[in-house]
Amino acid sequence: MKAFAERYRRLDDPTSTNRKIDAMVAYFRSAPPEDAIWSIRFLIGRKPRQVVPTRKLMEWAAELAGVPDWLFDASYDVVGDLAETITLLLPKASGSSDRPLHRWVEKHLLPLRGHDPEVQKRAVGAAWNRMDDVQRFVWNKLITGGFRVGVSQRLVVRALAQFSRIDAAVISHRLMGDWPPTADYYRQILSPDTHDADISRPYPFYLCYPLEGDPESLGPVKDWQIEWKWDGIRGQIIKRRGQIFIWSRGEELVTDKYPELRNVAASLPDGTVIDGEILPWKKGRPMPFSELQRRIGRKTVGKKLLRDAPVVFLAYDQLESGGRDIRQTALEHRRAALSGVISPLPGNRIQISPVVVAETWKEFAALQRESRSRGVEGFVMKRFDSVYEVGRRRGSWWKWKIDPLTVDAVLIYAQRGHGRRAGLYTDYTFAVRQGDSLVPFAKAYSGLSDAEIRQVDRFIQRNTVERFGPVRAVTPRLVFEIAFEGIQKSTRHKSGVAVRFPRIARWRRDKTVEEADTIETLTALMPP
């Protein structure tokens, strides 16, 4: 635990990429496999589910710190991070623990789930008593389910590849799917043997890079396969040894959530892996993404939901054929293989994503402007000779998205951020005009520069008119352009609409509240 906590501290500090990789390599050189595998799991974002209710943790920490609940809540409001707040308020640590990370996780953390609160309280208090401040902080992060660190999965892969001298693409593949956090599996990750016994394992996804300039900079149109950019859940369908596995890009096994896809996939040739998009689909066109959201959180899908929100899988690519990895063959050959396995399938639940045909980039630009009416987000452009890589890379795959929808809205509420933004008001609620009043319609957390965030923070502190716990109502004076990807009716929101992926496009210093957009302007953006 001591070594992992110290490494966490170093990785969470702003520092160069190479230093972070060096720190991880040094850790893997010295860590026992039982600890290293848990470290990998946490560093790539496989954080444990919260094992103790947040309110209970706050009560126990306040009791040990000898502070009233209101003071703990006020401290949390200022700090913005529960794990850090608890660490700061607990009595000063008198020692540190040499107990290995895996023992803390397997013997003390995971068994807490489901225990009586008094048992949990004694166990948590005993753990705090054995740890120094850095260890407490990491422990609190793990126990609250809020573990995050300033490294990406790609950096972890690079560190493991550098340490083991195994190709990064192989490491990436071995970290996909659901694997056991055991010493044996750690050895498999680093093994030079390329044989993989896990028949369910998906491949790392290849992601498109946003097109930043004119598409004509990509060269002749004839070199590119161009498809619509669909708005669904990226996934892979796998058939190996007669078994079907459906994975989302978030590495969630979702086979049972989409039985209609599973049933059709049973007709795929054995040893097949296809990459594509899960979409809600009716009458030959996509439905709003919110229809798919109705199924995402369900453990079981009833007959009514299957009728109301049916899905299709639009296949983009074939990654495995006859049990052979074909990612390094050219796209045009993979596409031909994909067509061969999709064509004989019954029904239309699994389809091949259609190629869009035009002669010039100018013609494609005209078609791209029709995207929203077609229920798509623009184009995806792939070189015919491209191989299937790992992650988001420039060069061979690009996405050419339509411009977002925008309205000018008024800042009405604010709340402090978390982590490094804990001392600043960075979480905002925006409203549009409705007659003589303002009606909230979206929350946004990104889009401003650091300098602008500090300016808005000063305005909020000087213009607070009311407080609701950590939330401040402010004088409605600041106007911002809010961008979002989609809009639809909603009975859950006061405004009657819900927007998708709202963010701040710019600060409209040139506009007054009276010039902000109205609810009528907002609702007019909804599709017919």
DSSP structure class, residue 110: G
To the query of whether residue 2 is one of the catalytic residues in this protein, the response is no
Extract the tokens encoding 316: 């983009």
Residue 466's contacts (CB-CB under 8 Å, 6 or more residues apart) are 472, 473
Strand partners, 273: 238, 320
Extract the tokens encoding 498: 């819900």
Contact 246, 277 (CB under 8 A): no
Strand partners, 484: 405
Extract the tokens encoding 326: 């074909």
How far is 85 from 465, CA to CA, in rounded Å?
27
How far is 42 from 335, CA to CA, in rounded Å?
36
Provide the 10 A C-beta neighbour count for residue 287.
18
DSSP structure class, residue 16: -
Catalytic one of 20, 121, 229, 382: 229
DSSP code per residue over 165-234: T--HHHHHHHTSS----SHHHHHHHT-S------TTPPPPPEEPEEP-S-GGGG--GGGEEEEE---SEE
Q: What is the dihedral of CA 28, 32, 33, 35, to 10 degrees?
A: -90
| Residue at token pair 């960075």 | 426
Extract the tokens encoding 497: 């609409």
Secondary structure string (H, E, C) spanning 447-485: CCCHHHHHHHHHHHHHCEEEEECCEEEECCCCEEEEEEC
Q: Which long-range contacts (CB under 8 A, 24 or more apart) does 464-467 make?
A: none
Smallest CA-to-CA distance from 291 within 307, 303, 280, 306 is with 280
How far is 350 from 340, CA to CA, in rounded Å?
13
Smallest CA-to-CA distance from 414 within 361, 457, 369, 363 is with 457
| Residue at token pair 């029904």 | 347
Contact 297, 335 (CB under 8 A): no
Q: Which residues are catalytic?
A: 229
